[in-house]
Structure 1
Amino acid sequence: MRAVITVIGKDKVGIISGVSNILAESNVNILDITQTILQDVFTMIMLVDISHCNIPFHDLSDKLESKGVEIGLKIQIQHEDIFNSMHRI
């Protein structure tokens, strides 16, 4: 099972580390990642494998959102099928 994580906010040191540490602790594998900085706005999209996640999905979502609040970013995770449905053209 896969999910999509989006991260948006002001660029600062430690963003990728903060997100990837939570994923590693939760046994979530990063399958693909893209990130860019538009002037000083950081954007990142990650495709992750949550099939071996060791905590419930909503707990993972809460941890990521809390990390976002802590470092001043918007971090969201969605199941891949929901993400695709919402972004279908």
Structure 2
Amino acid sequence: MNAVISVIGKDTVGILAAVSGLCAQVNANVQDVTQSVLGGYFAMIMVVDISKCNVDLSDLRTQLTALGQDRNLQIHLMHEDIFNSMHRI
């Protein structure tokens, strides 16, 4: 079971480390990641395996949102099934 994490904001040192570190703390395994810096803005999408996560999806979402607020980033978490449904052509 996977989830998709998106991160957008001004580029600063340690964004990837902070998000992946939080994932490691809750036992959410990063499966794939893509990131880019465009004109000083950071954008990242991560696919994480949440099947062995030690918190529920709602708690993980709350923790990621709080991390985003602390770092002045927008961080969103969505279950992979919902993400796929929303982006189906």
TM norm structure 1: 0.97
Counterpart AA for 2:23: L
Distance 1:83 1:10 in 2: 24
**Corresponding residue of 1:44:** 44
Distance 1:39 1:88 in 2: 29
Q: CA deviation at 1:63?
A: 0.3
Distance 1:84 1:41 in 2: 25
**Corresponding residue of 2:30:** 30
Q: CA deviation at 1:49?
A: 0.2
Q: Is the counterpart of residue 55 in structure 1 residue 55 in structure 2?
A: yes
**Corresponding residue of 2:21:** 21
Counterpart AA for 2:30: I
Distance 1:81 1:48 in 2: 13
Distance 1:34 1:4 in 2: 11
Counterpart AA for 2:88: R
Q: CA deviation at 1:85?
A: 1.0
**Corresponding residue of 1:4:** 4
Identical-residue share of aligned pairs (%): 54
Counterpart AA for 1:40: G
Unaligned runs of 5+ in 2: none
Secondary structure of the 2:12 match is coil
Q: CA deviation at 1:20?
A: 0.9
Matched positions, count: 89
- Compute the RMSD of aligned alpha carbons: 0.6
Could you list the structure 1 runs, at least 4 aligned residues long, displaced by more than 6 angstroms after superposition. Answer: none
